[in-house]
Structure 1
Amino acid sequence: MPDFSLDLHGANLDAAYSRLMHGLGQALAMGARVVLVVTGKPRPVDAMDRGERRGAIRAKISDWLAASQYASDIVAIRGAHRRHGGAGAIYVVLKRRR
């Protein structure tokens, strides 16, 4: 179903943002309509995490997309189907190019 996939999970926020912007540019250049973005699943924070933030990419991605140069190309953002990562991924639906 997705035309293009981006895997951001495990990256720090700066690297994830950079990959997202670069990947969306590639997807648009290829004429992709549905981009699967794997963010990683948010996990409850426990003492073993030692303050490391879990789910930080997932928390930021909507703001990143809304403020990006590609915001006008985005039609919708949807939760991914379980087989594509479920709670750990989203679909970014892009405008049809003519």
Structure 2
Amino acid sequence: MSRPLSPQERALWQRVAATVRPMAPKSARAPIEPTPPAPRAAATPTPAPPRPASVPARPAPPAIAATLDGSWDKRLRSGKLTPDRVIDLHDHNLERAHLALHSAVEAAAVSGDRVILVITGKGRPGRPGRIRAELHDWLASARISHHIAALRPASPRHGGSGAFYLVLRRPR
């Protein structure tokens, strides 16, 4: 299903299309020499087209990104580490998945577990999973962020791109 282009998008597309040349048939192709860029005229800035709502717009929070040493990362990448707890969030709606994640992290922190395998699902081709897209924001919430040491992608043995290892801080 497509949508009509906005006037800004149509103008941008016309500028791009004007710079394209049709390819010659395979038998007549010669090496393409780079053409110098055309001089730029002072134009009014064109606003960027809006992003689709399903694409995550921000990277992982820095507190989750780099708080493990190399031995942890090596064990996580190899899949040799056995998770203390597994939580499967795919097939949940966003609200239920959010609540389940928060309660699992709090329960794991109380019981002294260190590694949780969080299964989010991979999504569908062309449409990334919504739970997967929201996971970083949920983990950054003030209610549970103080328990979290790191978030890493799971090894293929534990779900690959459809799952994450959530490493909790050592209890004090």
- TM-score over 0.5 for the alignment? yes
TM-score (norm 1): 0.87
User: What percent identity do the matched residue pairs reach?
Assistant: 48
Q: Secondary structure at the match of 1:16?
A: helix
TM-score (norm 2): 0.51
Aligned residue among 37, 47, 71 for 2:145: 71
Pairs within 5 Å for 1:31-50: 31-45=112-126
- Which of structures 1 and 2 has the larger relative contact order (alpha carbons within 8 angstroms, sep 6+)? 1
Unaligned runs of at least 5 residues, structure 2: 1-81
Please, what is the CA RMSD of the aligned residues? Answer: 1.3
Q: Secondary structure at the match of 1:2?
A: coil
Structure 1 residue ranges, 4+ long, deviating more than 3 angstroms after superposition: none
Pairs within 5 Å for 1:14-93: 14-45=95-126, 54-93=128-167
State the match for 2:57 in structure 1: none
- Greater per-residue helix proportion: 1
Distance in structure 2 (CA, Å) of the matches to 1:21 and 1:67: 9
Residue 96 (structure 1) shift: 0.8
Aligned length: 91
Residue 54 (structure 1) shift: 4.7
Unaligned runs of at least 5 residues, structure 1: 46-52
State the match for 1:95 in structure 2: 169
- Greater per-residue strand proportion: 1
